[in-house]
Chain A
Protein backbone atom coordinates (compact mmCIF):
# COMPACT_ATOMS: atom_id res chain seq x y z
CA UNK A 1 0.00 0.00 0.00
CA UNK A 2 2.81 2.39 1.00
CA UNK A 3 4.72 1.42 -2.14
CA UNK A 4 1.70 2.09 -4.29
CA UNK A 5 1.21 5.51 -2.68
CA UNK A 6 4.91 6.33 -3.18
CA UNK A 7 4.65 5.26 -6.85
CA UNK A 8 1.63 7.51 -7.43
CA UNK A 9 3.34 10.51 -5.78
CA UNK A 10 6.54 9.97 -7.80
CA UNK A 11 4.52 9.69 -11.04
CA UNK A 12 2.57 12.87 -10.30
CA UNK A 13 5.73 14.81 -9.45
CA UNK A 14 7.33 13.54 -12.65
CA UNK A 15 4.35 14.56 -14.79
CA UNK A 16 4.22 17.95 -13.14
CA UNK A 17 7.93 18.45 -13.72
CA UNK A 18 7.64 17.51 -17.41
CA UNK A 19 4.63 19.81 -17.80
CA UNK A 20 6.42 22.73 -16.17
CA UNK A 21 9.52 22.06 -18.24
CA UNK A 22 7.46 21.97 -21.42
CA UNK A 23 5.60 25.11 -20.47
CA UNK A 24 8.87 26.88 -19.72
CA UNK A 25 10.10 25.82 -23.22
CA UNK A 26 7.19 27.72 -24.89
CA UNK A 27 8.99 30.91 -25.82
CA UNK A 28 6.94 34.12 -26.18
CA UNK A 29 6.53 35.53 -29.70
CA UNK A 30 9.50 37.74 -30.41
CA UNK A 31 9.93 41.06 -32.23
CA UNK A 32 6.26 41.91 -32.08
CA UNK A 33 5.75 45.13 -34.01
CA UNK A 34 2.54 47.00 -34.63
CA UNK A 35 2.06 49.52 -37.40
CA UNK A 36 -0.81 51.50 -38.86
CA UNK A 37 -1.63 49.50 -42.01
CA UNK A 38 -0.18 51.44 -44.91
CA UNK A 39 -2.33 52.65 -47.82
CA UNK A 40 -5.71 52.16 -46.19
CA UNK A 41 -8.41 54.46 -44.90
CA UNK A 42 -7.25 54.15 -41.29
CA UNK A 43 -9.53 51.26 -40.43
CA UNK A 44 -6.86 48.67 -39.65
CA UNK A 45 -3.66 48.02 -37.74
CA UNK A 46 -1.10 45.38 -38.74
CA UNK A 47 0.63 43.21 -36.13
CA UNK A 48 3.80 41.34 -37.12
CA UNK A 49 6.07 38.97 -35.23
CA UNK A 50 8.93 36.57 -35.94
CA UNK A 51 8.23 33.01 -37.04
CA UNK A 52 8.73 30.51 -34.23
CA UNK A 53 11.03 27.51 -34.62
CA UNK A 54 9.34 24.30 -35.76
CA UNK A 55 10.06 22.54 -32.44
CA UNK A 56 8.86 25.48 -30.34
CA UNK A 57 5.70 23.65 -29.31
CA UNK A 58 3.48 26.52 -30.48
CA UNK A 59 0.30 25.30 -32.15
CA UNK A 60 -1.67 28.57 -32.37
CA UNK A 61 -1.52 32.29 -31.76
CA UNK A 62 -4.14 34.50 -30.20
CA UNK A 63 -4.08 38.26 -30.68
CA UNK A 64 -5.11 40.41 -27.72
CA UNK A 65 -5.61 44.13 -27.82
CA UNK A 66 -6.29 46.91 -25.39
CA UNK A 67 -7.84 50.21 -26.27
CA UNK A 68 -6.70 53.17 -24.15
CA UNK A 69 -8.32 52.89 -20.67
CA UNK A 70 -10.01 49.66 -21.71
CA UNK A 71 -9.66 45.98 -20.89
CA UNK A 72 -7.51 43.47 -22.70
CA UNK A 73 -9.67 41.58 -25.21
CA UNK A 74 -9.17 38.75 -27.66
CA UNK A 75 -9.32 39.65 -31.33
CA UNK A 76 -10.44 37.19 -34.00
CA UNK A 77 -9.98 33.43 -34.05
CA UNK A 78 -6.89 31.41 -33.14
CA UNK A 79 -4.22 31.76 -35.81
CA UNK A 80 -2.32 28.63 -36.89
CA UNK A 81 1.38 28.21 -36.09
CA UNK A 82 3.47 29.69 -38.86
CA UNK A 83 1.39 32.86 -39.01
CA UNK A 84 3.53 35.97 -38.65
CA UNK A 85 1.09 38.74 -39.57
CA UNK A 86 -2.38 39.74 -38.52
CA UNK A 87 -4.42 42.67 -39.77
CA UNK A 88 -6.91 43.93 -37.20
CA UNK A 89 -9.69 45.48 -39.25
CA UNK A 90 -12.12 45.95 -36.38
CA UNK A 91 -10.61 49.04 -34.80
CA UNK A 92 -12.12 52.42 -34.15
CA UNK A 93 -10.45 55.02 -36.33
CA UNK A 94 -8.29 57.43 -34.34
CA UNK A 95 -8.19 55.35 -31.13
CA UNK A 96 -4.92 54.16 -29.61
CA UNK A 97 -4.42 50.39 -29.32
CA UNK A 98 -1.75 48.20 -27.73
CA UNK A 99 -1.36 44.52 -28.64
CA UNK A 100 -0.12 41.25 -27.19
CA UNK A 101 0.56 38.14 -29.23
CA UNK A 102 -0.20 35.04 -27.17
CA UNK A 103 1.46 31.73 -28.12
CA UNK A 104 -0.68 28.68 -27.36
CA UNK A 105 0.63 25.11 -27.13
CA UNK A 106 -1.22 21.92 -28.01
CA UNK A 107 -1.79 21.30 -24.29
CA UNK A 108 -3.34 24.72 -23.83
CA UNK A 109 -0.33 26.30 -22.16
CA UNK A 110 0.10 29.95 -23.08
CA UNK A 111 2.79 32.54 -23.03
CA UNK A 112 2.38 36.21 -23.94
CA UNK A 113 4.63 38.61 -25.77
CA UNK A 114 5.33 42.00 -24.28
CA UNK A 115 2.61 44.59 -24.74
CA UNK A 116 3.39 46.80 -27.70
CA UNK A 117 3.55 50.55 -27.80
CA UNK A 118 0.20 52.24 -28.61
CA UNK A 119 -0.67 52.73 -32.29
CA UNK A 120 -3.69 54.28 -34.00
CA UNK A 121 -5.09 53.79 -37.46
CA UNK A 122 -4.73 56.79 -39.76
CA UNK A 123 -6.00 57.10 -43.32
CA UNK A 124 -3.47 57.99 -46.00
CA UNK A 125 -4.19 60.62 -48.65
CA UNK A 126 -2.01 58.92 -51.25
CA UNK A 127 -1.69 55.18 -51.95
CA UNK A 128 2.08 54.75 -52.23
CA UNK A 129 1.57 51.30 -53.75
CA UNK A 130 -0.02 53.01 -56.74
CA UNK A 131 2.75 55.57 -57.16
CA UNK A 132 4.15 53.82 -60.24
CA UNK A 133 0.68 53.68 -61.82
CA UNK A 134 0.15 57.36 -60.99
CA UNK A 135 3.44 58.31 -62.65
CA UNK A 136 2.66 56.21 -65.74
CA UNK A 137 -0.79 57.83 -65.93
CA UNK A 138 0.73 61.32 -65.66
CA UNK A 139 3.35 60.54 -68.32
CA UNK A 140 0.76 59.11 -70.70
CA UNK A 141 -1.65 61.99 -70.13
CA UNK A 142 1.16 64.50 -70.58
CA UNK A 143 2.17 62.82 -73.86
CA UNK A 144 -1.38 63.05 -75.17
CA UNK A 145 -1.92 66.65 -74.05
CA UNK A 146 1.49 67.73 -75.41
CA UNK A 147 0.76 66.11 -78.78
CA UNK A 148 -2.70 67.66 -78.91
CA UNK A 149 -1.31 71.15 -78.44
CA UNK A 150 1.65 70.41 -80.70
CA UNK A 151 -0.75 69.37 -83.44
CA UNK A 152 -2.48 72.76 -83.20
CA UNK A 153 0.70 74.37 -84.52
CA UNK A 154 -0.16 72.92 -87.92
CA UNK A 155 2.27 69.99 -88.08
CA UNK A 156 1.06 67.29 -90.39
CA UNK A 157 0.36 64.02 -88.59
CA UNK A 158 0.40 60.74 -90.45
CA UNK A 159 -2.47 58.37 -89.72
CA UNK A 160 -2.38 54.93 -91.28
CA UNK A 161 -5.22 53.95 -93.57
CA UNK A 162 -8.18 52.37 -91.78
CA UNK A 163 -10.26 50.51 -94.41
CA UNK A 164 -13.36 50.42 -92.20
CA UNK A 165 -13.44 54.21 -91.97
CA UNK A 166 -12.52 54.70 -95.61
CA UNK A 167 -15.62 52.68 -96.41
CA UNK A 168 -17.99 54.99 -94.53
CA UNK A 169 -18.51 57.24 -97.56
CA UNK A 170 -18.86 54.22 -99.81
CA UNK A 171 -21.57 52.74 -97.57
CA UNK A 172 -23.52 56.00 -97.35
CA UNK A 173 -23.18 56.56 -101.10
CA UNK A 174 -24.44 53.06 -101.81
CA UNK A 175 -27.50 53.56 -99.61
CA UNK A 176 -28.20 56.90 -101.31
CA UNK A 177 -27.93 55.41 -104.78
CA UNK A 178 -30.21 52.51 -103.86
CA UNK A 179 -32.71 54.82 -102.23
CA UNK A 180 -32.64 52.83 -99.00
CA UNK A 181 -32.02 53.78 -95.41
CA UNK A 182 -28.94 53.46 -93.22
CA UNK A 183 -29.21 51.60 -89.94
CA UNK A 184 -26.92 52.71 -87.12
CA UNK A 185 -26.73 50.38 -84.08
CA UNK A 186 -24.93 51.65 -80.97
CA UNK A 187 -24.96 48.32 -79.14
CA UNK A 188 -25.80 47.68 -75.50
CA UNK A 189 -23.60 50.31 -73.90
CA UNK A 190 -24.93 52.98 -71.61
CA UNK A 191 -23.83 56.61 -71.80
CA UNK A 192 -21.12 55.79 -69.25
CA UNK A 193 -19.28 53.52 -71.69
CA UNK A 194 -16.39 55.11 -73.57
CA UNK A 195 -17.20 52.92 -76.60
CA UNK A 196 -20.73 54.37 -76.71
CA UNK A 197 -19.37 57.91 -76.71
CA UNK A 198 -16.89 56.95 -79.46
CA UNK A 199 -19.76 55.43 -81.42
CA UNK A 200 -21.81 58.62 -81.05
CA UNK A 201 -18.88 60.60 -82.43
CA UNK A 202 -18.82 58.38 -85.53
CA UNK A 203 -22.60 58.71 -85.75
CA UNK A 204 -22.20 62.50 -85.77
CA UNK A 205 -19.88 62.23 -88.78
CA UNK A 206 -22.19 59.74 -90.53
CA UNK A 207 -25.16 62.05 -89.88
CA UNK A 208 -23.33 64.96 -91.55
CA UNK A 209 -23.09 62.92 -94.75
CA UNK A 210 -26.64 61.57 -94.58
CA UNK A 211 -27.81 65.16 -94.08
CA UNK A 212 -26.03 66.21 -97.26
CA UNK A 213 -27.38 63.26 -99.25
CA UNK A 214 -30.79 63.33 -97.52
CA UNK A 215 -30.53 59.61 -96.87
CA UNK A 216 -32.76 58.26 -94.07
CA UNK A 217 -30.76 57.40 -90.96
CA UNK A 218 -32.43 55.01 -88.51
CA UNK A 219 -31.02 54.61 -84.99
CA UNK A 220 -32.72 52.16 -82.58
CA UNK A 221 -31.51 52.67 -78.98
CA UNK A 222 -31.46 50.39 -75.96
CA UNK A 223 -30.84 53.13 -73.40
CA UNK A 224 -33.12 56.17 -73.00
CA UNK A 225 -30.27 58.49 -72.00
CA UNK A 226 -28.27 57.40 -75.05
CA UNK A 227 -31.41 58.00 -77.12
CA UNK A 228 -31.69 61.62 -76.02
CA UNK A 229 -27.98 62.31 -76.52
CA UNK A 230 -28.06 60.63 -79.95
CA UNK A 231 -31.02 62.78 -80.99
CA UNK A 232 -29.03 65.88 -80.03
CA UNK A 233 -25.90 64.64 -81.85
CA UNK A 234 -27.77 63.86 -85.09
CA UNK A 235 -29.84 67.05 -84.92
CA UNK A 236 -26.68 69.14 -84.48
CA UNK A 237 -25.08 67.44 -87.50
CA UNK A 238 -28.12 68.16 -89.66
CA UNK A 239 -28.26 71.77 -88.51
CA UNK A 240 -24.51 72.25 -89.04
CA UNK A 241 -24.82 70.91 -92.57
CA UNK A 242 -27.66 73.30 -93.30
CA UNK A 243 -30.39 70.65 -93.58
CA UNK A 244 -32.44 70.97 -90.37
CA UNK A 245 -35.61 70.08 -92.27
CA UNK A 246 -34.19 66.69 -93.23
CA UNK A 247 -33.83 65.71 -89.58
CA UNK A 248 -36.55 63.33 -88.44
CA UNK A 249 -36.63 62.73 -84.70
CA UNK A 250 -38.82 59.66 -85.10
CA UNK A 251 -36.00 57.85 -86.92
CA UNK A 252 -34.07 57.77 -83.64
CA UNK A 253 -36.14 55.84 -81.15
CA UNK A 254 -36.09 53.71 -78.02
CA UNK A 255 -36.60 50.03 -78.82
CA UNK A 256 -36.30 48.09 -75.55
CA UNK A 257 -34.01 47.68 -72.58
CA UNK A 258 -33.67 43.91 -72.96
CA UNK A 259 -30.65 42.49 -74.81
CA UNK A 260 -32.31 39.81 -76.92
CA UNK A 261 -35.52 41.75 -77.43
CA UNK A 262 -33.28 44.49 -78.81
CA UNK A 263 -31.59 41.98 -81.11
CA UNK A 264 -34.99 40.72 -82.26
CA UNK A 265 -36.24 44.26 -82.86
CA UNK A 266 -33.17 45.32 -84.86
CA UNK A 267 -33.24 42.05 -86.84
CA UNK A 268 -36.90 42.71 -87.63
CA UNK A 269 -36.03 46.19 -88.90
CA UNK A 270 -33.27 44.77 -91.06
CA UNK A 271 -35.52 42.15 -92.64
CA UNK A 272 -38.51 44.50 -93.17
CA UNK A 273 -36.74 47.70 -94.19
CA UNK A 274 -33.68 46.17 -95.87
CA UNK A 275 -31.25 49.03 -95.17
CA UNK A 276 -28.41 49.28 -97.69
CA UNK A 277 -25.77 50.08 -95.07
CA UNK A 278 -25.53 48.97 -91.45
CA UNK A 279 -23.19 50.42 -88.86
CA UNK A 280 -22.62 48.30 -85.75
CA UNK A 281 -20.51 50.53 -83.52
CA UNK A 282 -20.20 50.39 -79.74
CA UNK A 283 -20.32 47.74 -77.01
CA UNK A 284 -21.77 44.38 -77.96
CA UNK A 285 -22.26 41.01 -76.32
CA UNK A 286 -23.87 37.76 -77.49
CA UNK A 287 -26.22 39.57 -79.87
CA UNK A 288 -23.33 40.74 -82.08
CA UNK A 289 -23.43 37.78 -84.47
CA UNK A 290 -27.24 37.65 -84.49
CA UNK A 291 -27.24 41.23 -85.78
CA UNK A 292 -24.27 40.89 -88.12
CA UNK A 293 -25.47 37.67 -89.74
CA UNK A 294 -28.95 39.04 -90.32
CA UNK A 295 -27.40 42.15 -91.88
CA UNK A 296 -25.24 39.91 -94.04
CA UNK A 297 -28.27 37.87 -95.15
CA UNK A 298 -30.02 40.98 -96.56
CA UNK A 299 -26.91 41.98 -98.49
CA UNK A 300 -26.23 45.24 -96.65
CA UNK A 301 -22.75 46.69 -96.54
CA UNK A 302 -21.74 46.39 -92.88
CA UNK A 303 -19.15 48.36 -90.95
CA UNK A 304 -18.65 47.13 -87.40
CA UNK A 305 -16.47 48.35 -84.57
CA UNK A 306 -16.29 47.38 -80.94
CA UNK A 307 -14.04 47.36 -77.91
CA UNK A 308 -15.51 44.00 -76.80
CA UNK A 309 -12.65 41.78 -77.92
CA UNK A 310 -14.75 38.62 -77.58
CA UNK A 311 -17.16 39.85 -80.25
CA UNK A 312 -14.50 40.92 -82.76
CA UNK A 313 -14.15 37.49 -84.44
CA UNK A 314 -17.90 37.44 -85.08
CA UNK A 315 -17.84 40.87 -86.68
CA UNK A 316 -14.77 40.00 -88.75
CA UNK A 317 -16.52 36.87 -90.02
CA UNK A 318 -19.87 38.49 -90.78
CA UNK A 319 -19.17 42.14 -91.68
CA UNK A 320 -17.49 43.79 -94.63
CA UNK A 321 -15.28 46.01 -92.49
CA UNK A 322 -14.42 45.88 -88.81
CA UNK A 323 -12.81 48.52 -86.63
CA UNK A 324 -10.67 46.51 -84.25
CA UNK A 325 -10.50 47.81 -80.69
CA UNK A 326 -8.66 51.12 -80.65
CA UNK A 327 -9.66 51.92 -84.26
CA UNK A 328 -13.10 52.67 -82.86
CA UNK A 329 -11.57 55.44 -80.74
CA UNK A 330 -9.43 56.66 -83.63
CA UNK A 331 -12.50 57.14 -85.82
CA UNK A 332 -13.19 60.69 -84.62
CA UNK A 333 -9.73 61.85 -85.58
CA UNK A 334 -9.76 59.92 -88.83
CA UNK A 335 -13.11 61.18 -90.05
CA UNK A 336 -12.89 64.77 -88.80
CA UNK A 337 -9.14 65.29 -89.52
CA UNK A 338 -9.19 67.72 -86.61
CA UNK A 339 -5.55 68.35 -85.57
CA UNK A 340 -6.42 68.17 -81.87
CA UNK A 341 -7.88 64.67 -82.29
CA UNK A 342 -4.99 63.60 -84.52
CA UNK A 343 -2.56 64.83 -81.86
CA UNK A 344 -4.22 62.63 -79.26
CA UNK A 345 -3.73 59.65 -81.56
CA UNK A 346 -0.02 60.40 -81.72
CA UNK A 347 0.14 60.63 -77.93
CA UNK A 348 -1.64 57.30 -77.75
CA UNK A 349 1.05 55.80 -79.99
CA UNK A 350 3.74 57.15 -77.65
CA UNK A 351 2.05 55.22 -74.87
CA UNK A 352 2.13 52.08 -76.95
CA UNK A 353 5.82 52.57 -77.73
CA UNK A 354 6.53 53.04 -74.02
CA UNK A 355 4.67 49.87 -73.05
CA UNK A 356 6.16 47.78 -75.86
CA UNK A 357 9.62 49.08 -74.97
CA UNK A 358 9.11 48.07 -71.36
CA UNK A 359 7.88 44.62 -72.40
CA UNK A 360 10.91 44.00 -74.68
CA UNK A 361 13.34 45.45 -72.11
CA UNK A 362 11.71 43.38 -69.36
CA UNK A 363 12.01 40.16 -71.40
CA UNK A 364 15.71 40.84 -72.04
CA UNK A 365 16.37 41.61 -68.37
CA UNK A 366 14.42 38.54 -67.21
CA UNK A 367 16.58 36.42 -69.52
CA UNK A 368 19.57 37.56 -67.46
CA UNK A 369 17.79 36.97 -64.17
CA UNK A 370 17.10 40.65 -63.47
CA UNK A 371 13.47 41.15 -62.59
CA UNK A 372 13.04 44.75 -61.51
CA UNK A 373 10.90 45.62 -64.59
CA UNK A 374 8.64 42.67 -63.76
CA UNK A 375 8.46 43.83 -60.14
CA UNK A 376 7.62 47.36 -61.28
CA UNK A 377 4.85 46.13 -63.58
CA UNK A 378 3.47 43.94 -60.80
CA UNK A 379 3.39 47.00 -58.59
CA UNK A 380 1.49 48.91 -61.29
CA UNK A 381 -0.96 46.02 -61.44
Chain B
Protein backbone atom coordinates (compact mmCIF):
# COMPACT_ATOMS: atom_id res chain seq x y z
CA UNK B 1 0.00 0.00 0.00
CA UNK B 2 2.88 2.32 0.87
CA UNK B 3 4.18 1.87 -2.68
CA UNK B 4 0.91 1.35 -4.56
CA UNK B 5 -0.68 4.73 -3.76
CA UNK B 6 2.33 6.83 -4.91
CA UNK B 7 2.60 4.73 -8.07
CA UNK B 8 -1.08 5.21 -8.93
CA UNK B 9 -0.86 8.95 -8.21
CA UNK B 10 2.30 9.24 -10.30
CA UNK B 11 0.61 7.45 -13.21
CA UNK B 12 -2.56 9.57 -13.04
CA UNK B 13 -0.84 12.93 -12.67
CA UNK B 14 1.80 12.03 -15.29
CA UNK B 15 -0.85 11.18 -17.89
CA UNK B 16 -3.00 14.23 -17.03
CA UNK B 17 -0.04 16.61 -17.30
CA UNK B 18 0.95 15.15 -20.69
CA UNK B 19 -2.60 15.52 -22.01
CA UNK B 20 -2.87 19.15 -20.87
CA UNK B 21 0.05 19.92 -23.19
CA UNK B 22 -2.13 18.92 -26.14
CA UNK B 23 -5.39 20.49 -25.01
CA UNK B 24 -5.89 24.26 -25.06
CA UNK B 25 -9.39 24.02 -23.56
CA UNK B 26 -10.10 26.14 -20.49
CA UNK B 27 -10.81 23.11 -18.31
CA UNK B 28 -7.57 21.48 -19.34
CA UNK B 29 -5.47 24.60 -18.73
CA UNK B 30 -7.21 25.20 -15.40
CA UNK B 31 -6.29 21.64 -14.39
CA UNK B 32 -2.68 22.28 -15.36
CA UNK B 33 -2.55 25.51 -13.34
CA UNK B 34 -4.20 23.89 -10.35
CA UNK B 35 -1.72 21.00 -10.27
CA UNK B 36 1.18 23.43 -10.75
CA UNK B 37 -0.16 25.45 -7.81
CA UNK B 38 -0.20 22.34 -5.65
CA UNK B 39 3.49 22.01 -6.43
CA UNK B 40 4.07 25.61 -5.30
CA UNK B 41 2.15 25.02 -2.06
CA UNK B 42 4.78 22.44 -1.11
CA UNK B 43 7.55 25.10 -1.15
CA UNK B 44 6.91 26.58 2.32
CA UNK B 45 6.90 23.09 3.84
CA UNK B 46 10.23 22.43 2.12
CA UNK B 47 11.64 25.54 3.77
CA UNK B 48 10.58 24.33 7.21
CA UNK B 49 12.00 20.90 6.44
CA UNK B 50 15.32 22.48 5.40
CA UNK B 51 15.64 24.49 8.62
CA UNK B 52 14.72 21.54 10.84
CA UNK B 53 17.14 19.21 9.04
CA UNK B 54 19.95 21.77 9.20
CA UNK B 55 19.47 22.33 12.94
CA UNK B 56 19.28 18.58 13.60
CA UNK B 57 22.45 17.86 11.61
CA UNK B 58 24.60 20.58 13.18
CA UNK B 59 23.21 20.21 16.72
CA UNK B 60 24.18 16.53 16.63
CA UNK B 61 27.69 17.45 15.49
CA UNK B 62 28.13 19.92 18.31
CA UNK B 63 26.76 17.49 20.91
CA UNK B 64 29.08 14.69 19.82
CA UNK B 65 32.04 17.01 19.34
CA UNK B 66 32.79 15.35 15.99
CA UNK B 67 35.82 16.55 14.04
CA UNK B 68 35.45 20.19 12.89
CA UNK B 69 32.37 20.65 15.06
CA UNK B 70 33.28 24.31 15.46
CA UNK B 71 32.05 24.98 11.92
CA UNK B 72 28.57 24.02 13.09
CA UNK B 73 28.71 26.88 15.60
CA UNK B 74 29.40 29.23 12.68
CA UNK B 75 26.32 27.86 10.93
CA UNK B 76 24.14 28.60 13.99
CA UNK B 77 25.72 32.03 14.44
CA UNK B 78 25.03 32.96 10.82
CA UNK B 79 21.50 31.61 10.96
CA UNK B 80 20.62 33.43 14.20
CA UNK B 81 22.07 36.74 12.99
CA UNK B 82 20.10 36.61 9.72
CA UNK B 83 16.87 35.58 11.49
CA UNK B 84 17.23 38.38 14.07
CA UNK B 85 17.96 40.91 11.32
CA UNK B 86 15.30 39.75 8.90
CA UNK B 87 12.38 38.26 10.81
CA UNK B 88 11.02 41.33 12.67
CA UNK B 89 11.15 43.80 9.77
CA UNK B 90 11.36 41.64 6.66
CA UNK B 91 14.03 41.25 3.99
CA UNK B 92 13.81 44.92 2.94
CA UNK B 93 15.10 46.19 6.28
CA UNK B 94 18.47 47.99 5.87
CA UNK B 95 20.22 45.75 8.42
CA UNK B 96 19.16 42.58 6.61
CA UNK B 97 19.99 44.04 3.22
CA UNK B 98 23.39 45.20 4.49
CA UNK B 99 24.22 41.72 5.75
CA UNK B 100 23.03 40.15 2.51
CA UNK B 101 24.90 42.59 0.24
CA UNK B 102 28.10 42.71 2.30
CA UNK B 103 28.40 39.13 3.52
CA UNK B 104 26.51 36.67 1.35
CA UNK B 105 26.95 38.36 -2.04
CA UNK B 106 30.76 38.82 -1.71
CA UNK B 107 31.15 35.23 -0.50
CA UNK B 108 29.12 33.95 -3.44
CA UNK B 109 31.17 36.15 -5.78
CA UNK B 110 34.38 34.79 -4.26
CA UNK B 111 33.37 31.23 -4.95
CA UNK B 112 32.25 32.12 -8.46
CA UNK B 113 35.49 33.95 -9.21
CA UNK B 114 37.45 30.83 -8.29
CA UNK B 115 36.05 29.43 -11.49
CA UNK B 116 38.48 31.51 -13.56
CA UNK B 117 41.47 29.80 -11.91
CA UNK B 118 39.87 26.38 -12.13
CA UNK B 119 39.19 26.91 -15.84
CA UNK B 120 42.88 27.74 -16.35
CA UNK B 121 44.08 24.62 -14.50
CA UNK B 122 41.52 22.34 -16.20
CA UNK B 123 42.33 23.82 -19.62
CA UNK B 124 46.04 23.29 -19.02
CA UNK B 125 45.46 19.58 -18.45
CA UNK B 126 42.91 19.18 -21.22
CA UNK B 127 45.00 20.99 -23.83
CA UNK B 128 48.23 19.06 -23.32
CA UNK B 129 48.80 17.74 -26.84
CA UNK B 130 49.51 14.13 -25.90
CA UNK B 131 46.98 12.50 -28.19
CA UNK B 132 45.45 13.36 -31.55
CA UNK B 133 42.15 14.33 -29.90
CA UNK B 134 43.87 16.57 -27.36
CA UNK B 135 45.89 18.26 -30.13
CA UNK B 136 42.70 18.85 -32.09
CA UNK B 137 41.10 20.30 -28.97
CA UNK B 138 44.09 22.56 -28.42
CA UNK B 139 44.05 23.88 -31.99
CA UNK B 140 40.31 24.48 -31.88
CA UNK B 141 40.59 26.26 -28.54
CA UNK B 142 43.38 28.49 -29.83
CA UNK B 143 41.32 29.49 -32.88
CA UNK B 144 38.26 30.25 -30.71
CA UNK B 145 40.34 32.21 -28.19
CA UNK B 146 42.12 34.24 -30.89
CA UNK B 147 38.77 34.91 -32.56
CA UNK B 148 37.35 36.17 -29.27
CA UNK B 149 40.00 38.81 -28.59
CA UNK B 150 40.31 42.10 -30.50
CA UNK B 151 43.94 41.48 -31.45
CA UNK B 152 42.82 38.39 -33.41
CA UNK B 153 41.03 40.44 -36.04
CA UNK B 154 43.84 42.97 -35.97
CA UNK B 155 46.32 40.30 -37.00
CA UNK B 156 44.01 38.46 -39.40
CA UNK B 157 41.21 40.85 -40.38
CA UNK B 158 37.85 39.04 -40.29
CA UNK B 159 39.52 35.63 -40.66
CA UNK B 160 39.97 35.08 -36.91
CA UNK B 161 36.41 35.95 -35.92
CA UNK B 162 34.97 34.13 -38.97
CA UNK B 163 36.90 30.96 -38.14
CA UNK B 164 35.73 31.18 -34.52
CA UNK B 165 32.13 31.66 -35.60
CA UNK B 166 32.33 28.77 -38.06
CA UNK B 167 33.59 26.45 -35.32
CA UNK B 168 30.83 27.55 -32.95
CA UNK B 169 28.06 27.39 -35.57
CA UNK B 170 28.99 24.08 -37.21
CA UNK B 171 30.96 21.39 -35.35
CA UNK B 172 30.19 22.81 -31.91
CA UNK B 173 26.47 23.33 -32.50
CA UNK B 174 26.11 19.94 -34.22
CA UNK B 175 27.70 18.15 -31.29
CA UNK B 176 25.55 20.07 -28.81
CA UNK B 177 22.38 19.27 -30.71
CA UNK B 178 23.36 15.61 -30.83
CA UNK B 179 23.79 15.60 -27.06
CA UNK B 180 20.51 17.47 -26.53
CA UNK B 181 18.71 14.97 -28.76
CA UNK B 182 20.08 12.06 -26.75
CA UNK B 183 19.30 13.77 -23.45
CA UNK B 184 15.73 14.53 -24.55
CA UNK B 185 15.04 10.97 -25.67
CA UNK B 186 16.64 9.65 -22.50
CA UNK B 187 14.52 11.95 -20.37
CA UNK B 188 11.34 10.89 -22.18
CA UNK B 189 12.28 7.24 -21.76
CA UNK B 190 12.98 7.78 -18.06
CA UNK B 191 9.67 9.64 -17.69
CA UNK B 192 7.75 6.77 -19.30
CA UNK B 193 9.45 4.33 -16.93
CA UNK B 194 8.45 6.52 -13.97
CA UNK B 195 4.86 7.00 -15.16
CA UNK B 196 4.43 3.26 -15.80
CA UNK B 197 5.88 2.46 -12.38
CA UNK B 198 8.87 0.55 -13.77
CA UNK B 199 11.32 3.05 -12.34
CA UNK B 200 10.65 3.12 -8.59
CA UNK B 201 13.97 4.22 -7.14
CA UNK B 202 12.52 7.57 -6.07
CA UNK B 203 10.15 5.75 -3.73
CA UNK B 204 13.06 4.47 -1.69
Contacts and interface: CB of A to CB of B under 8 A. Distances in A.
A272 interface: yes
Given A126-B23, A324-B179, A145 B49 contact: no
Interface in A296-325: 296, 307, 309, 312, 314, 316-318, 324-325
A187 interface: no
A33 interface: no
A380 interface: no
Interface residues of B, number: 59
Interface in B39-63: 39, 42, 46, 49-50, 53-54, 57, 60
A183 interface: no
Contacts of B188: 137, 140-141, 144, 348, 351
Interface stretch (A66-74, A104-112, A339-347): A339-347
A289 B124 CA distance: 14
B101 interface: no
B129 to A, nearest CB: 14
Contacts of A235: 204
Contact of A309 (B24, B119, B183): B183
Contacts of A198: 190
A347 B192 CA distance: 11
Interface stretch (B86-94, B156-164, B195-203): B195-203
A55 interface: no
B132 interface: no
A337 interface: no
Contacts of A137: 18, 188
B202 A355 contact: no
B185 A197 contact: no
Given A140-B188, A257-B50, A325-B186, A229 B198 contact: no
**Binding site secondary structure of chain B:** helix
B183 to A, nearest CB: 4
Interface in B4-56: 18, 21-29, 39, 42, 46, 49-50, 53-54
Contacts of A317: 122-123, 125-126
Contacts of B107: 260-261, 264
B181 interface: yes
Contacts of B57: 250, 253-254
B22 A130 contact: yes
B24 A148 contact: no
A274 B188 CA distance: 37
A144 B193 CA distance: 9
**Binding site secondary structure of chain A:** helix
A34 to B, nearest CB: 19
Interface residues of A, number: 83
Contact of B183 (A130, A250, A260, A326): A326
B192 A141 contact: yes
A269 to B, nearest CB: 10
Interface in B82-108: 104, 107-108
A228 interface: yes
A348 B186 contact: yes
Contact of B26 (A93, A229, A345, A351): A93
Given A140-B188, A141-B192, A345-B189, A314 B202 contact: no
B154 interface: no
B115 interface: yes
Nearest to B50: A224
Contact of B199 (A233, A296, A332): A332
A141 B19 CA distance: 14
Nearest to B48: A224
A330 B186 contact: yes
A164 interface: no
Nearest to A236: B204
Interface stretch (A23-31, A38-46, A165-173): A38-46
A330 B203 CA distance: 19
A194 interface: yes
A289 B50 contact: no
Given A124-B25, A253-B57, A263 B111 contact: yes
A125 B115 contact: no
Contacts of A361: none
B201 A197 contact: yes
A260 B121 CA distance: 20
A41 B26 CA distance: 5
A127 B19 CA distance: 10
Given A253-B53, A293-B118, A344-B198, A197 B190 contact: yes
30 contacts: A41-B24, A42-B25, A123-B24, A125-B23, A130-B21, A130-B22, A137-B18, A145-B192, A194-B187, A194-B190, A200-B201, A200-B202, A223-B46, A224-B46, A232-B204, A254-B50, A256-B54, A260-B111, A290-B111, A307-B186, A325-B180, A325-B183, A325-B186, A326-B185, A330-B186, A341-B198, A348-B188, A348-B189, A352-B181, A355-B185
Interface of A: 39-43, 93, 123-127, 130, 133-134, 137, 140-141, 144-145, 148, 191-192, 194-195, 197-198, 200-201, 204, 223-225, 227-229, 231-233, 235-236, 250, 253-254, 256-261, 263-264, 268, 272, 286-287, 289-290, 292-293, 296, 307, 309, 312, 314, 316-318, 324-326, 328-330, 332, 340-341, 344-345, 347-348, 351-352, 355
Among all A-B residue pairs, the 6 with the closest Cβ atoms: A232-B204, A329-B186, A326-B186, A326-B182, A260-B111, A317-B126
